[in-house]
């Protein structure tokens, strides 16, 4: 291979640099020989090995004996500024977010966390069923992940060299692909949205087609390509136009999918096996038939398992429940162990080989911080914790108990339409009650803001029972629960008892009046605080 003939490419540039460095090294060697190795620093001959030894000695000395004392004290900074948390966020970040929290009464000052619990300034525990939108499958501050990250920091690994390859990335890819034996290659990135962006590019490159299909109510991230596949209109408003040739089909509608695929111009069908917005489950046979239709029409099936994967539904991948082997699988969120952002695209070898098909395309797609040692170690530690503590099996068993318990406790409620889910991905869907007066009040609240009635449950759930949860998406009367896999049986009963009480209390005109009064009070307090 004549590298210099690859001019204009990254590999060609590297080859030219190698040639230049070789000439420079030859000249330096000649100069070194001419001076008999007596280049001096001060009065001593220069020795590369001695210099490296001295550098190590200085580094060790500065870290252990304080020759170069550390002036930055994070603990002191947090203690000094703790009272400024909300004011700083309002001034420099997103004041509208703070308005939402204050209006709902969710502006709790959490100061530390452990497992499934958040603790406020008075050290009162709150059970977190939001889990950072699914990030904290292991709970917060899991010791296995902390230990792995500490080892990385102490090991002084040569990370992000860029013209090198990462051992930790290779091991993580090997262990992820072992759980998906029909797939061959991995690509790492920094988030779920980045994984979706990569899948868009890879599917177009592999098929030579440009059209992409996604489902109504689907959510795949908020970067431009990912947002172009978003079935939730409020996220798209005022951000168009979007990436071209993206079309939507209804979830669970096989005839609509077949019509869209029959044009044979679709690169990929991107679908969440269990939709996060609403916790919508696929109908029996839907995903298996969708996979068959994709194969028939030459379209890649891309499973977005960013929230529903990594054990969330009681299997490592949600698509395992339905006997489906996608062409690409997207992971993120829980892969981080709750610490270091990371995303992954796992794919068939043929797809990868169409993208990285020549040496000059070795750098055709990548990300500066992908494969960083902290993220790779967090992923490896997360998989280890899953296996050592049998947490995916626990998610399946405790999730089934929680779904059954909530269904039993809420079955007599006029407000609860359905409790559904898989594993630790659970929805409680509300609906208008049968009682005429309650139905009128319910309709009045929903007309004010569709989905607002859920706050009648969620606000007292937090303020009275210290359980954090929220709705499953815009304009839908669905509460979503994403418990950490490490919740105890006592935690499960805490959840069931709390929901039974707040749902029971809400089934009255007095309960609805209390909601309006609470929201109004919070809104007034928020206005007063921002005045």
Q: Out of 333, 371, 422, 480, which one is annotated catalytic?
A: 333
CA separation for the pair 525, 215 (Å, rounded): 40
DSSP 277: T
**Phi, psi angles (nearest 5°) of residue 152:** -60, -45
Beta strand ranges found along 96-237 (DSSP E)? 110-114, 117-120, 125-128, 185-189, 211-215
| Residue 304: active-site member | yes
> Cα-flanking dihedrals φ and ψ of residue 213, to 5°?
-110, 145
Q: Which two tokens stand for residue 443?
A: 């309709």
Q: Which long-range contacts (CB under 8 A, 24 or more apart) does 360-369 make?
A: 360/6, 360/9, 360/10, 360/11, 360/12, 361/9, 362/10, 362/11, 363/10, 363/11, 365/187, 365/198, 365/201, 365/202, 367/188, 367/189, 367/190, 367/194, 368/160, 369/160, 369/190
Cα end-to-end distance, the chain, whole Å = 70
Q: Where are the alpha helices (DSSP H) in 65-191?
A: 74-81, 85-92, 95-104, 131-134, 143-155, 167-178
State the catalytic residue, choosing from 136, 187, 202, 219.
219
Q: How many CB atoms are closer than 10 A to CB 243?
A: 15
Query: Is the Cα dihedral 244, 343, 399, 488 positive or negative?
Result: negative
Instruction: Give the angle 345-349-350 at the CA atoms, nearest 5°.
Output: 115
Strands (E) in 332-477, as ranges, are 343-347, 416-422, 425-430, 467-468, 470-471
Max Cα distance, the chain (Å): 101
- Give the active site residue among 136, 188, 202, 304: 304
Strand 478-481 vs strand 425-430: parallel, antiparallel, or unpaired? antiparallel
Round to whole Å and give the CA distance between 344 and 347.
10
**Alpha helices, DSSP H only, in 262-344?**
286-296
**Whole-angstrom Cα distance, residue 277 to residue 171?**
33
Name 23's Cβ contacts closer than 8 Å, sequence gap at least 6.
Answer: none
Active site residue 251: no
Of 170, 207, 165, 225, nearest to 355 (Cα)?
A: 207
> Measuring CA to CA, which residue among 258, 251, 263, 261 is closest to residue 214?
251
Query: Whole-angstrom Cα distance, residue 282 to residue 300?
Result: 19
Separation between Cα atoms, residue 84 and residue 78, nearest integer Å? 10
Question: So which residues are the catalytic ones?
Answer: 219, 304, 333
């Amino acid at each position: 291979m004549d590298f210099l003939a690859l001019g204009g490419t990254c590999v060609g540039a590297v080859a030219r640099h190698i040639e230049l460095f070789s000439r420079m090294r030859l000249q330096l060697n000649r100069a070194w020989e001419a001076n008999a190795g007596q280049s001096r620093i001060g009065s001593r001959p220069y020795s590369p090995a001695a210099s490296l030894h001295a550098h190590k000695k200085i580094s060790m000395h500065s870290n252990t004996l304080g020759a170069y004392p550390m002036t930055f004290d994070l603990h002191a900074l947090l203690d000094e500024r703790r009272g400024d948390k909300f004011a700083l966020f309002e001034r420099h970040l997103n004041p509208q977010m703070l308005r939402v929290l204050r209006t709902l009464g969710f502006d709790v000052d959490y100061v530390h966390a452990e497992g499934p619990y958040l603790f406020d300034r008075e050290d009162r525990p709150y059970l977190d069923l939001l889990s950072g939108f699914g990030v904290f499958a292991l709970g917060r501050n899991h010791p296995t992940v902390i230990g792995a990250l500490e080892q990385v920091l102490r090991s002084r690994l040569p990370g992000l060299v860029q013209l090198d390859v990462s051992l930790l990335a290779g091991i993580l890819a090997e262990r992820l692909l072992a759980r998906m034996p029909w797939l061959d290659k991995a690509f790492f990135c920094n988030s779920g949205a980045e994984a979706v962006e990569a899948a868009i590019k890879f599917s177009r490159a592999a098929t030579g087609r440009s059209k992409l299909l996604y489902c109504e109510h689907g959510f795949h991230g908020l970067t431009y390509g990912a947002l172009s596949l978003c079935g939730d209109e409020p996220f798209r408003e005022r951000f168009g136009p979007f990436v071209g040739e993206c079309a939507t089909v209804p979830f669970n509608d096989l005839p609509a999918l077949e019509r869209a695929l029959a044009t044979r111009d679709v690169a990929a069908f991107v679908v969440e096996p269990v939709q996060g917005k609403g916790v919508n489950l696929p109908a029996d046979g839907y995903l298996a038939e969708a996979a068959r239709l994709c194969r028939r029409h030459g379209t890649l099936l891309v499973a977005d398992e960013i929230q529903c994967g990594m054990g969330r539904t009681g299997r490592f991948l949600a698509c395992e429940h339905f006997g489906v082997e996608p062409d690409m699988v997207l992971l993120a969120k829980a892969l981080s162990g709750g610490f270091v952002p990371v995303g992954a695209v796992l794919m068939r070898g043929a797809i990868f080989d169409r993208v990285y098909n020549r040496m000059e395309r070795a750098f055709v797609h990548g990300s500066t911080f992908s494969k960083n040692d902290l993220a790779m170690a967090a992923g490896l530690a997360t998989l280890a914790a899953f296996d050592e503590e049998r947490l995916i099996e626990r998610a399946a068993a405790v999730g089934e108990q929680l779904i059954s318990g909530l269904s039993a406790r809420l079955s007599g409620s006029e407000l609860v339409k359905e409790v559904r889910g898989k594993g630790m991905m659970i929805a409680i869907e509300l609906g208008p009650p049968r009682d005429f007066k309650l139905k009128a009040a319910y309709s009045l609240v929903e007309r004010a803001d569709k989905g607002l009635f859920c706050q009648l449950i969620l606000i007292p759930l937090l303020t009275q029972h210290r359980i954090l949860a929220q709705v499953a998406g815009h304009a839908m009367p669905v509460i979503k629960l994403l418990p950490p896999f490490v919740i105890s049986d006592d935690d499960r009963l805490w959840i069931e008892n709390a929901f039974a009480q707040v749902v029971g209390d809400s089934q009255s005109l007095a309960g609805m009046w209390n909601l309006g009064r609470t929201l109004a009070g919070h809104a007034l307090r928020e206005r007063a605080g921002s005045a």
